Structure 1
């Protein structure tokens, strides 16, 4: 009598299966903040005359070496934080070694179809889920422009999964504030970079004597606390380790704040407590690096 092969768990089964749990863990990895050494400055020209000029400079703004992005570019430019193609590919592989992408349209030769703007629509599939993305090469031509458009489309599609979402939000905000500063402010946008007054307030709050009531958490700590809340049920120690490293790099890991119960605590205590709970449920594991 031939041996039967066990059928996979039905996708319609009631409650999560091990497969769906693995998917959730993989997708959660995409939302882990990228470390600072994987974030690069992307220059963007903010002068209309420079953008339209064949030489990318105008009579008011001249090209020069930018020490931040290391580009020879007009002085009328700003920097947006972005994650490169290699760093994003590595994160996708961590989340799902079998991730894949495909163009939405192919020509008669079987090659991806670019639209009239030189842009490319793609479908990115990670952990069995697909999202659309769009990328272009900012008017460039040649083989490198095609690769740049693909990388841009992958970043755009991965953002739909939450990858580097905080960087996209900051980039959109900075562009809005540069082009329409009053409108952006009136619409309730808040810059991620605190003003000198706010920074002094944060520094003073961190040096408050023990036993005093802490003020509201700093902007970066508040962002990390939201990430902790979003990922609380993921049961993935790696996520909380990454948040802890981010907090340590920004000097907010031991910043005191008031929790919902009115108790004074720190992000370090919250992360250590949650990691201990996960490790206890999983029967032990590696501790978060201090």
Structure 2
């Protein structure tokens, strides 16, 4: 395997490591946050029925296909956005850190080509400054030659995350929950997080923001994804919107995680909402969603 700048021997991820000052300085470049213009919105479908459908939209009338104004994709409304860094931007960052960086597949097939696993995923080794980390990527539902390129790019982002590249895109408080909720997806690969919104200037919390919830809808009807906040949205409007979203998404932990994160970014975590019956007790917005996400995760664990 080609080695990077001042590469010592025996520096596999599972073995002993040693660093020179130059290596440390070069690797530190991978940890520098990416500028906003290099961060793109990646759509993630939150409805399992839409995901399984050949047309990527289910029969639920709430899930209409249209052009999304943020990611510019023609996609079901049952989706949210994740921040991610593209292949070109990541390659440029790797070259800045180590012009001799390299990657190779973990296994080769009989033709000498990269070996994909039974799930269509690709394991790779990424070497930067003489140190190697493993990475895994998949094609995100694509097929043909584009699937191969997508899997390689996804694997590189995943492996580069092990070096700290784009790690700041993760919301620290939601990192563990996000990985549990997004197996084999871009966000699980660590190069993206729930889409960052630009919060409006918020006044102090006011009692009129208290909301009463309706938990009577069956879970199969609670799969709507959060919608993008309109420009110039007031604090009261944002809270009303998030309240409506979590009611609609009560049976979907992934969407609730997104709503909870947006509530934190908008400074609404401490607002009071009414919990589900029979107790129907009042609690903070964050406490309600945290409890429900934990409950859904436990249900999924028992089902598995």
Task: Report the equivalent of 2:24.
Answer: 24
Whether contact under 8 Å (2:26, 2:97) holds in the other structure is yes
Q: How does 1:112-151 map to 2 (within 5 A)?
A: 112-151=114-153
Q: How does 1:152-167 map to 2 (within 5 A)?
A: 152-167=154-169
Distance 1:183 1:23 in 2: 41
SS in 2 for 1:59: coil
Name which of 91, 94, 99 aligns with 2:93. Answer: 91
Question: 98-107 vs 173-182, which deviates more?
Answer: 173-182
Q: CA deviation at 1:77?
A: 0.2
SS in 1 for 2:152: helix
Whether contact under 8 Å (2:41, 2:82) holds in the other structure is yes
- Deviation track 1:197-228 (CA, whole Å, cap 9, x = no partner) reads 579xxxxxxxxxxxxxxxxxxxxxxxxxxxxx
Q: CA deviation at 1:144?
A: 0.9
RMSD value over aligned CA atoms? 3.3
Task: Report the equivalent of 2:237.
Answer: none
Task: Report the equivalent of 1:236.
Answer: none
Task: Report the equivalent of 1:195.
Answer: 266
Distance 1:154 1:118 in 2: 15
Distance 1:49 1:78 in 2: 15
Q: How does 1:1-290 map to 2 (within 5 A)?
A: 20-60=20-60, 61-169=63-171, 176=181, 179-180=252-253, 193-197=264-268
Task: Report the equivalent of 2:277.
Answer: none
TM value normalised by structure 1: 0.57
TM value normalised by structure 2: 0.54
Q: 1:98 to 1:9 in 2, by over 3 A?
A: closer
- Deviation track 1:209-267 (CA, whole Å, cap 9, x = no partner) reads xxxxxxxxxxxxxxxxxxxxxxxxxxxxxxxxxxxxxxxxxxxxxxxxxxxxxxxxxxx
SS in 2 for 1:131: strand
Distance 1:138 1:89 in 2: 20
Distance 2:7 2:55 in 1: 60
More helix per residue: 1 or 2? 1
Q: 1:21 to 1:191 in 2, by over 3 A?
A: farther
Q: What is the aligned residue count?
A: 184
Distance 1:144 1:115 in 2: 17
Q: CA deviation at 1:180?
A: 2.0
- Deviation track 1:160-213 (CA, whole Å, cap 9, x = no partner) reads 00000122457855685974279969xxx86685224579xxxxxxxxxxxxxx
Distance 2:106 2:167 in 1: 23
Tell me, which stretches of 5 or more residues in structure 2 are unaligned? 1-5, 11-17, 182-193, 195-248, 271-304
Larger radius of gyration: 1
SS in 1 for 2:32: coil
SS in 1 for 2:20: helix
Q: 1:169 to 1:156 in 2, by over 3 A?
A: farther
Distance 1:71 1:183 in 2: 23
Distance 1:182 1:82 in 2: 18
